[in-house]
Structure formats: C-alpha cells, structure tokens
A and B are shown apart, each in its own frame.
Chain A
Amino acid sequence: MNSRLITTTEAVDPVFMFLFGACLLLLVGITAAMLFFIVRFHRSRAPRPTSTADNNLWLEIVWTALPTILVLAMFYYGWYGYLALRRVPPDALPVTATARMWSWSFSYPNGATSPKLFVPVGKPVRVELVSLDVIHGFFLPAFRVKRDVVPGMKNHVWFVAPKAGSFDLFCSQYCGTAHSSMISTVEALPEAEFAAWLKQGSSTTATRPDGRKLAQEKGCLGCHSLDGTPGVGPAFKGLYQSQVEVMRAGKPLTVTADEAYLKESIRQPEALIVKGFQPIMPADPDLTDEQLEALVEFIKGLK
C-alpha cells in the first residue's frame, strides 16, 4: 500500500464525525433548554408569565451569526472531503462497470469479465460507469462511494480496498422490479492472488464460451428463470420449440420459438414482445456471434 494514500473512507469519516458532533451538540442544547423551560415555567410553578419580552436585537444577532459560522464550517469540510472522492490517483487500475436491469458486469483492460468486482488490495481502482438502459447507482457502503450510472454519460468513481475481504455493492438508484436484487460484491484479493485471477479470467474468455455462465454473467437470469417460474421475462425452461404469442410491430402473432426466434429475441429484443411482458429487455452490443450461439444452445437444452 502506498504510504500516504488516503482511502475514500478515511476522507469521508472525519467529516461525518465533525457533522454528527456539531449536530448532537445543537440538538442537546435545544432540547435541554426546551425541557428546562417547560418544567421551570410550567403553569403549576409559574401561574403568570413573568416577562413580556418579545425581542432582543443582540440575541437575534448572536443566533444568526453563530449558526452562520457553524454551517459555513460544515460546508467547507463537506466540500473538502468530497474533493478527495473526485481526485483519482494517477496509477489507478481502470475497470469498466456495466449496469443493466438488473445485473452488474465488470470488465478489465485485458478482456477479462466478471459479475463480481475483483480488485487488488492497496491499489486504487478507477471504475468507469456504463449503463445499457435506465439510471442505476454504483454504491459501495464500506468505501463511502456512490455515483449514478447514467445512460449516455461518462461517470466514474475511485476507491482503494485497504484489506482483503468481500464488500457489498448495491444499486442505489431505483431501476424497476428487481432493483433490490441488483447486488454484487467487491472481492479484494492480495495483489499476487489478484494478478493470478486476472490472468485466468482473461484466458477463460478466450476459449469456447459456456452458455450457462454467460446467462449468469450477462444478467439474463435476473428476469428469465431456469425452473419455469414466471419472472419479469418469459422463463427459459421449456421455451425452445414452444408456441409463443407475440406482438410484432403492434400486431398479435403466434410463432414457434425456434433457433431463429431465440437469436432475433437476443439481438433485437424490442422487435418481438411476448404477450403479457414489458418491452424492457436491453440488447447487448458486446455479445459476439460465438457467445450468441452458446447462449442459444444453452436455452435449447432447458427442456
């Protein structure tokens, strides 16, 4: 680990402490004053008001000036901490996070991809955020990092994992039915282990793709079930060669789910919409023809 690399957590937590401390002090002060006045000047003790004072210029000046100074200090520390979240260390490892309804996929410069975000311990990581459909949110509570993943926009975050372990990764921007299951993890590995994983990850993608693994990684299974239970999209099980009622260009139509149908539905999801489902499936422009074949073979095998 770099000797003086401030992690995002170390940058944000002191700001939390300062703000909580100041807020608690104010809250305790206000509450204590209120309770004391209520008890001391309760009608049973104070049958009549003993003052008719209705303003005091000096008090007003004091309690306008003091909060002003306090909130400006809060603003300054809040901004200062935020800058640390934006200043990406120059040697950061670039990773691309691709969000779609409702899964994450992470790709590395050497071509390796993974549904989990593997990172080396102690080395800063810069995550480019890409959305294929609606707005998602990339949220790592353990590292105090969050950024929306907006379609058509180039957003990024950076963080560094100070120790090995598994950390939650949530989608923080509401994105539809399975928003709350759009969860992954950051897997922080010691640098040597990470290097080995990265090498292996890139070599497996070079061999013949595995349809089941692809369906998992590309997020298909978020909506299309393997056991026939209805999901957000039609179930994969028993789909091949079944009769499907679809809408094509607004006209109802019954077709057989053959190989051509499956391929068209993956490449151009919006062309044919199965009756009873929403036109929400995104196409994946990165899907190679080889991967498409593997996916279709996999779906054909689910009887």
Chain B
Amino acid sequence: MSHIQQPQTSFWNDTGKTGITSWIFSTDHKRIGLLYFYSTFGFFLVGVLLGLLLRIELMAPGRTIMGPQTYNALFTVHGVVMIFLFIIPGFQGSFGNLVMPIQIGARDVSFPRLNLFSWWIYMIGAVVILTSLFTGGGPPDTGWTFYVPFSSRTGTNVSLAVLGVFIIGFSSILTGLNFVTTIHRLRAEGMSWGRLPLFVWSLYATAWVQILATPILAITLVLVAAERLLGTGLFDPATGGDPLMYQHLFWIYSHPAVYIMILPAMGVISDIIPVFSRKPIFGYKMIAFSSIAIAAAGSLVWGHHMYTSGMSDTAILVFSFLTFIVAIPSAIKVFNWVSTLYRGSISLEAPMLFALTFILLFSIGGLSGLILGAAATDIHVHDTHFVVGHFHYVIFGGSGFAFFAAMHYWLPKFYGRRYAEKPAILAWALMFTGFNITYFTMQLLGMQGMPRRYYDYLPEFATLNLVSTVGSWILAGGLLIMLINLFRGLWWGPPFEGNPWGGATLEWSIPTPPPTENFIEEPLVTHGPYDFKGTGIP
C-alpha cells in the first residue's frame, strides 16, 4: 500500500514506525477508526457468507447442503455476528471514530486510551464468541435472542457465547461515554449545538442509548449464564421462574439496540444528501430533535416483540400505542430528506445513490414495521419470514446501505485515493436489485404463513424461496464488485484531494489524508455544517 505524500505528515506515516504495533496500540482516533472498520467489516463479510449458506439451504425443501442442527447453529451465528460484531459497534467504532472528532473541530476524542481499550475489549469479546463456535458442545443453536428455557437447556456452547456478548457490551458502554464527553467538552470555538453536523447529533443520541441500555443486556446475560451453570431458576418455570421475564429484560436492551444500529445511519444520510444536492438540509432542527425523540421513545417500545407471548392485553395496548408514536419522528426525517432535494442541484454519484436507496429501503422497512406494530396484524406475521424481511429492510437496506454510502463518501478522505465511479454504480444497481428480490419475497412468504427459523418448509413455499435465494446471489455479486472496486481504489487508485464532493463540514477543510493533529491550529467555526457558500464550489 502506498500513499500520496502530503506536505504535512498524514496520520498514515507520522510515527516513523510501521507494522502492526503502530496500529493496535495507537491512540489516534483515525487509526482506531480504521481498526474498527476492518474488524467490524470483516465480521460483516463472515455474516454475509453465513447468510448465503442459509439461503442455499432454503433454496429447495428438505436437506440441500446441511442438516437441521447445522442450520440452526448457522442462523444463530449469522445473527450474533451481524448484530453484536458488525452493526452495533460498526458505525460508532468506524465512522464515529474517523469523522466525529474532526467534524466538531477536535484533535481527538476525550479519552484516547479508553478508546483504544474499547477496541481491545471488542476484539477480546469477538475472540470469545468465535471460541464458542469450535469448543464444548458446538456453536450455540438458540437464535441470537437466547430465549429461555431453551437456552438454559440446550447442550451447545451458549454460556461462552453470552460471555462474549457480555464482554463486547462494555466496549459499547465505554465508547458511548467517550463520545458523549467528547461532544460535550471538545467542540471547537464557534461549534454551537446548532452547528453540529447531523451525523454528530445522531452519534450523540446513539451514545446515550449505549450507555443506558447496554447494562441491562449485560445483567440479563449474566442471569442466563447463572441459570445454566448454577441452576438459579429465575427463568425456568420448572423451578418457579418466569420465561417472560427474560423476554422483557432481553428486549429492554435489544429494541433500543436497533436504534443504535439505525440512528448513525440516519446521521450519515443527513450529511450526504445536502452535499450532493448543494443545498442546506431541510429542517435541521427537526432532524436533530427527532434523533433524540427516537432514542427516548424507542426505549419504551420493547414489548412489541411479545404480542403473542401471553403478556397481558393491557401491556399490548400500551406497547402498540408507543410503537406507533416512534413512527412519527422517523416519518419527519424522511419528509425532510426528500424536501432537501427540492430545487437543489443533484449529482448521482455513488455515495448519493446509496443514500437515496437508504430512504427507499428504510421506508419500505419502516412501513412494514407499522404492520408489525398494529396488534391484530402482528399476530399473523409475528415470528414469520415477514419479520425477517422487515428487519433486513431496516437494518441491511437502511443501516447497511448507509454504511456503504459512508464507505464511498469518507474512506477516500482518509486514504487520499479513490475508487472508480462506473463500477461503483454497477455494484449499486446489482445490490439494489438483488436486495429487493431477496427480502421482498421473504415478506410475501411471511404473509403466506411461513414461520422463521425454519430449516425445512412445505412445498407451497418452494417457489418464493427459490426466487429469494437467486436474489441473494445477485446481491452478493454486487457486493463483490463493490469490494474489489472500493479497496482497489483506496489502495492503488487515482489521488483524491481537496474537497471534490463540496462538503461544508470541517473534515473537508483539512488536508487529505488528515494529519495526525487534524487541525494545524484550532479552528474557529463561523458557519453551519450545510452552508455551502464557503466551499469554493459554484
């Protein structure tokens, strides 16, 4: 790998040292950001591979390439890897670390060593989870939800896997603390709360969710381990426990966790759309406020995962109502993004295409979420492929595509080299097509009544399952082209200098790649994040 030489020492070759230790012991937020990026994105690719295997198994009824126990372990590991190793730590760790301190005009985060420590905790947790796959009773087969009493009885390696998730939780809490402190304390002069880029606002809301919700997951997982190892009997009715108590505790974290996954994605979109429309974001205050509203109200809707559980009807009434309330701030964001396009000057480069796709796929996912939020309709589609489709629309079509948008938008800034545009657009087209074929058919399958986590299915579901599998190949093909094009560009591509997109946030005002100290002298912020008059672009 070689880099464009800059008059100022870029963060790539500042230490004079090379080799792995200059990375894994670095306290520079940019290096830590790239550590997070490669580790989380690496796990994303592992998760993709597992997902493709699952789809191949479901291509036809009966056994295709694996037995039921293997299938059950694979969907569990797919979920655990994608959620706990990729999308929860991914945005905050990668782009939060890379971009946020620069966007607020800071040299680094408040606690750089704690930041490095968080990455180490994440890696240790990841290693523990990976170890659980190959030791003891074999990979966990409980689903990523670890529902008791099944998870307290199965002979697979659940205890070690939940220990891994428990450890990773601390990484998430510490990153949250670090970011809240940084955003409060290290904003440059003139960087008022009303001038914070919306990406920073979204990270701020996310960080609070991480701090407040993650400890509940940690406690819950300790209780599951105690149930298995000590037989405490808190959740097992055979010993006087209550399985529904587990579900409440689990979802008190795990529902807000989906906002940890989606809020930073919304922040990325809010930053990209104005840049490629050359027009200030519409409704800045409403978008910033709705991030906070989503984080707050989203903490009170966990019970909508439990309409069929036997929970009281009163609880269902309340949770259904609150679930619909959360839909409002999400709708406000969508309307404001679309309005930003009006009378702009729109350029459909790769980051923008991914960002616009986010709006569409997130809308489909969000609207199908309304079907799941209403009590009557949820009963039919709950625990079916409809939920699988809905979740992938929101988290893959939403967060995933926003992650790709961020990769195309920000990574060239940190490498000083860029990818080729045409293959990027081809990759986008294939992924967009494949995505909809794969996941829309799942929603149809769910409407027809095919339950989720099914290794085998009745013949009436065969056609749509085949279609979905073929879609997954198109999606994977697009992903492969994107990877080759992006990384070839970042490592060996043509130079990327200055401010080619015309962004008005602070990261575009410093050299490319950024120098270690980010800013030569402390910046004085005089305009908002989407005020494009000063960017030198007509």
Contact = CB atoms under 8 A, between A and B. Distances in A.
Interface in B311-365: 313, 316-317, 320-321, 324-325, 327-328, 331-332, 334-335, 338-339, 341-348, 356, 359-360, 363-364
A235 B308 CA distance: 35
Contacts of B142: 174
B5 interface: no
Given A67-B331, A134-B149, A11 B376 contact: yes
A84 B162 CA distance: 40
Contacts of A150: 237, 243-244, 309-310
B370 A139 contact: no
B154 A280 contact: yes
A178 interface: yes
Interface string A44-83: 0011111111111001100110011001101101111110
B341 A34 contact: yes
A33 B338 contact: yes
A183 B454 CA distance: 11
B375 A82 contact: yes
Interface in A145-173: 145-148, 150-153, 155, 168, 170-173
B219 interface: no
A53 B449 CA distance: 47
Contacts of A33: 338
B141 interface: yes
A93 interface: no
A152 B338 contact: no
A217 interface: no
A15 interface: yes
B176 interface: no
A68 B452 CA distance: 32
Contacts of B238: 151-152
Interface in B340-399: 341-348, 356, 359-360, 363-364, 367-368, 370-371, 373-380, 382-384
B284 interface: yes
B328 A71 contact: yes
Interface string A176-190: 111111010000000
A168 B458 contact: yes
A48 B335 CA distance: 22
B332 A60 contact: yes
Contact of B383 (A55, A71, A152, A173): A173
A37 B368 contact: no
A19 interface: yes
A43 B327 contact: no
Given A49-B278, A174-B150, A144 B379 contact: yes
Given A52-B279, A177-B68, A82 B376 contact: yes
A134 to B, nearest CB: 4
A150 B453 CA distance: 18
A22 to B, nearest CB: 8
B332 A71 contact: no
A146 B308 contact: yes
Interface string A107-135: 00000000000000000000000000111
B383 A177 contact: no
Interface in B122-164: 137, 141-143, 147, 149-150, 153-155
Contacts of A172: 308, 382-384, 451
A247 B344 CA distance: 74
Contact of B367 (A27, A79, A80, A134): A27
Nearest to A181: B456
Contacts of B37: none
A55 B284 CA distance: 8
Contacts of B331: 63, 67
Contacts of A81: 374-377
B282 A147 contact: no
Contact of B348 (A38, A59, A168): A38
Interface in B512-538: 530, 538
Contacts of A51: 279, 342-344
B286 interface: yes
A180 B237 contact: no
A175 interface: yes
A144 B448 CA distance: 10
B457 interface: yes
A92 interface: no
A15 B376 contact: yes
B280 interface: yes
A203 B286 CA distance: 70
Interface residues of B, number: 87
Contact of A26 (B149, B367, B448): B367
B184 interface: no
Nearest to B237: A152
Contact of B335 (A63, A79, A175): A63
Contact of A54 (B242, B243, B281, B454): B281
Interface centre among B279, B334, B378 (most CB of A within 10 A): B279
B367 A23 contact: yes
Nearest to B330: A67
Nearest to A78: B374
B467 to A, nearest CB: 20
Contacts of B149: 133-135, 151
Contact of B371 (A16, A49, A137): A16
A177 B328 contact: no
A215 B431 CA distance: 49
B338 A34 contact: yes
B141 A54 contact: no
A31 B458 contact: no
B22 interface: no
A152 to B, nearest CB: 3
A47 B347 CA distance: 10
A183 B61 CA distance: 14
B346 A135 contact: no
Given A37-B341, A71-B328, A137-B383, A53 B282 contact: yes
A230 to B, nearest CB: 11
A69 to B, nearest CB: 10
B279 to A, nearest CB: 4
A78 B370 CA distance: 10
A79 B457 CA distance: 31
Given A38-B356, A43-B346, A176-B154, A75 B321 contact: yes
Given A19-B374, A134-B147, 19 more contacts: A12-B377, A15-B376, A22-B370, A30-B360, A30-B363, A33-B338, A46-B345, A56-B282, A64-B286, A71-B325, A78-B374, A78-B377, A133-B153, A134-B150, A137-B308, A151-B149, A168-B458, A172-B383, A280-B154
16 contacts: A12-B380, A41-B344, A52-B279, A54-B280, A64-B332, A78-B374, A78-B378, A81-B374, A137-B308, A142-B449, A153-B243, A173-B383, A177-B141, A180-B453, A183-B458, A280-B155
Listed from nearest, the 4 A-B pairs whose CB atoms lie closest are: A78-B374, A141-B449, A152-B237, A81-B376
Interface of B: 68-69, 72, 137, 141-143, 147, 149-150, 153-155, 237-238, 242-244, 277-286, 307-310, 313, 316-317, 320-321, 324-325, 327-328, 331-332, 334-335, 338-339, 341-348, 356, 359-360, 363-364, 367-368, 370-371, 373-380, 382-384, 448-449, 451-458, 530, 538
